[in-house]
Structure 1
Amino acid sequence: MRTGKLSVAKLGQITEPGRYGDGGCLYLVVAPGGTKQWVARLTIHGRQTDLGLGGTSNVTLAEAREEAARLRKIARNGGDPRTERRREKLSFAQAAHRVHEQLRPTWKNKKHADTWLATVENMLFPLSEIAR
């Protein structure tokens, strides 16, 4: 196991199977077959846990550092990063339709429900596409 910051150039040079530390709980794990994966080693509720962040072909060093820092902050504040990662991710359109379904029983008639959804679709959906 090595300590110290990794670099993009160093990633290409590492071929020996093992665990290479980048600092801040981030490790590069090289399997015997040569595959390389990012792992964040965190203490969650008093137990040390390794969370995979993805392979080096899909996740850059900068992205791995950013995600490890985000997960470390959650764990440090008493949360469980595993729960956070399982949380459902919705697009704005999906969330709007879900809210519409929940609000529908509160409107007096179908026209109110249809008007609300049409307004959101016409006014806000185009803006949510621009924000992406």
Structure 2
Amino acid sequence: MLVCSSGVDVSTSALRFLAAHLRELRRALGTRWRRLNAGRQALITLAHLRNGQPYAQLAAGFEIGTTTAYRYITEAVNLLAALANRSHAKIRALAEQAIATLKSCRLLRRLRCSTTRITRLVQAVLVLQLAASG
């Protein structure tokens, strides 16, 4: 387990999984540079998914702007949601374990947003659960 600056336990396998896919996405998009590397973007996203911290707190902890934090987290969540659509059959087998993980996350209790955004967040957590299971 890795611990981010806010004291959130983050699975090393989930962090590596997300960072690798973010690197692939950046390579495909031809991105020249970013304020955070793919590993730190994965870490800020996992911290948000795990704890539901506001973007301003995460931005301050990672020394980036609030808008940048929002864009990085949204980009990673959309990537994970797209991966969820590709591996839907495998995810169904892990649904009960993932639901237990979702219940332990504080993020869903605090959300006051559209159902589309909630669906993407749930898909992102499910993909991370699949990656952690191997």
Bin of the TM-score, shorter chain as denominator length: under 0.3
State the structure with bigger RCO (CA 8 A, min sep 6), 1 or 2: 2
Q: Which has the higher helix share?
A: 2
Larger radius of gyration: 1
| TM-score, normalisation: structure 2 | 0.22
